[in-house]
Amino acid sequence: AVEARQLERARQQALRCFPQGVAHAEFAESRRGMIKEGYDADLTAFGKDILTIDAEDLPTIPIAATIVGGKVVHETTAAAQKR
C-alpha cells in the first residue's frame, strides 16, 4: 500500500511538472502550464485513471479527448456522451 501511494504521488508530481516545465522552457508561464482561466486550453483527457493504473498498462490507455486552444479536436463517443 505504501508503494502504491508513493507511485501515485510520483505520477501526480509528473503531471504538474511536465506542463509547467514546458511552459517555462517556452517562456510562456503567464499563459500555459496549468488549467486556469485565461490560460491556453490545451489538454488531453485519458480514458483511464493514470494515477492508479499499472505502470505497464500506461502506454495502452486510450485517449478520451484532446482539447487545443479551448476547442475539442478529438473525442471518443463515450467521452462525448459524458458531457
pLDDT at residue 47, rounded to an integer: 92
The bridge status of strand 71-75 relative to strand 63-68 is antiparallel
Quick check: 1 pLDDT over 80? Answer: no
pLDDT of residue 75: 92
The Cα-based distances of 25 to 10, 32, 54, 81 in angstroms read: 21, 11, 30, 36
Instruction: Provide the pLDDT for residue 70.
Output: 87
Is-contact 42 33, C-beta < 8 A? no
pTM across the whole model: 0.69
pLDDT tens track for 32-77: 988 889 998 788 999 999 888 888 998 999 999 999 988 999 998 7
Q: What is the pLDDT of residues 6-26, one digit of tens each?
A: 888 898 998 888 889 999 999
- What pLDDT does residue 5 have? 84
Contacts for 53 with CB less than 8 Å, ≥ 6 apart: 61
